[in-house]
Amino acid sequence: MPKYLSFFLHSPSSISPARTCKMIGIMSDTHDNLEAIRKAVEFLNAQKVSLVLHAGDYIAPFTVNEFKKLSCPFVGVFGNNDGERKGLLRSFAEMGAEIKDFSAVEHQGKKIAVYHGTITELMTALIASGEYDVFVRGHTHVSEIRQEGKTLVINPGEVCGYLTGKKTVCLLDPEKMEAAIHEI
């Protein structure tokens, strides 16, 4: 891994699953919709996921209270609408999570990149680099799962449901490298 990315790398021990489930929960674009966030957290907890990844656009720090109800580690990135960054950083720190503009996670033997997706050229270069087994993005609010070379690219859609009318999350099985979108 290039040294400049190691700053963003979460160590595997810091997110090792305390649960037997191997699934990873993925969400994005929650946009202050507390009811939808509650449903997403309840669904992911019921699935007993070992990790939750969030591809940005929480909006306000008060939403973090709902993420605190997750029964597993949480890794997230900022989105383009996350204006109150200091408040979000402080609130996520209270639950032992840190959010950044980009995160690279090693989990269950897979390298996973998480980026909101606002700079298309950067996102394209990261996917094409071949560094990551999985690339998680958000921003468009449209769910998508596709293979690009060796990288599985996942956009879980939107939890908020504001643009598409669908409140969605994704479950990833990193062992089988299979993902599925679930409407909540």
Q: What is the pLDDT of residue 20?
A: 57
Q: What is the pLDDT of residue 68?
A: 97
Query: How far is it, in rounded angstroms, from Cα 127 to Cα 38?
Result: 31
| pTM, rounded to two decimals | 0.90
Question: Token pair for residue 120?
Answer: 């298309």
Q: What is the pLDDT of residue 11?
A: 39
DSSP code, position 97:
-
Burial of 36 (0-12, 13-18, 19+ CB in 10 A): buried
Residue 133 near residue 152 (C-beta atoms within 8 A): yes
Residue 67 near residue 74 (C-beta atoms within 8 A): yes
DSSP 3-state assignment of 157?
Answer: coil
Domains of the chain: 21-183 (3.60.21.10)
Q: What is the pLDDT of residue 153?
A: 98
Question: Token pair for residue 18?
Answer: 């305390």
Query: How far is it, in rounded angstroms, from Cα 23 to Cα 18?
Result: 12
Query: How far is it, in rounded angstroms, from Cα 137 to Cα 117?
Result: 5
Question: Token pair for residue 123?
Answer: 């996102």
68: Cα separation from own chain's centroid: 15
> pLDDT of the chain along its 184 residues, tens only?
333 333 344 433 344 444 457 899 999 999 999 999 999 999 999 999 999 999 999 999 999 999 999 999 999 999 999 999 999 999 999 999 999 999 999 999 999 999 999 999 999 999 999 999 999 999 999 999 999 999 999 999 999 999 999 999 999 999 999 999 999 9
